[in-house]
Amino acid sequence: MSIRQGVLSIGVLLALCTTVDAREFTSTVSESGAITRLRPEFKIPDEPNQLFYVQRSPNSNTVIYTARLDAGGALDRREPVEGFWRKFNIDGTKQPLNIIERMMAYGVRTDRMGTNGPVTFTIAALPERKISVSLDGNKRPQALLQVGARTIRLAYVYLHVVEGGFMPDVPELDIFGTDIASGKAVHENLVQK
């Protein structure tokens, strides 16, 4: 077995273990006039067709999710969402997610799609939360997420990471966005039970 096959096998095994032992969270939802920045010193990314981003407590390196559009400006039905790193803690370069990151944490799993309408996907580490991607009235891509009874346009997610061991632990995360009905900023805090 090659090293690459070994890493792939470990990644598949870990992914299977993670889906069997799903984590449970306690959710608290609040609203305000503006989206809170938990780490104002971290750069806010601004990528073409950006949907949302994920920041983490250890450093300013950020995972960014963008929509892929076809030549006509519609969502690319083959691969509608891309996730990648911006290494802001180093030099700001764009780097792909590695295989473990794609399978265990930040990878995108797209649901079956029709030829029109929104695309639904999940993130590997939080498969129970479906995110819908569509084009808004100005033909800009947006990521929509259900938070309680509200639908929000997702802005960013902040992970409280505890490093150590083979995989870091995320006992708490915060989701930020804008309620598409009221226009108010919505914050969901999830704490692992």
* Residue linked to tokens 């990151």: 101
pLDDT exceeds 80 at position 47: yes
Q: What is the DSSP letter of 121?
A: E
What pLDDT is stored for residue 165 in this prediction?
A: 77
What mean pLDDT is reported for the chain?
Answer: 87
In the chain, pLDDT over 90 holds for what percent of residues? 76
What pLDDT is stored for residue 19 in this prediction?
A: 39
d(CA 60, CA 16): 29
Over the stretch 106-120, which tens digit does the pLDDT of each residue have? 999 998 666 676 789
Domains of the chain by residue range:
24-192
For 77-103, what is the mean pLDDT? 95
- Residue from 46, 40, 41, 73 nearest 140 by CA: 73
User: What is the phi/psi pair of residue 140, to 5°?
Assistant: -100, 140
pTM of the predicted model as reported, rounded to 2 decimal places: 0.86
Query: What are residue 149's DSSP bridge partners?
Result: none
For 164-176, what is the mean pLDDT? 89
How many residues in the chain?
193
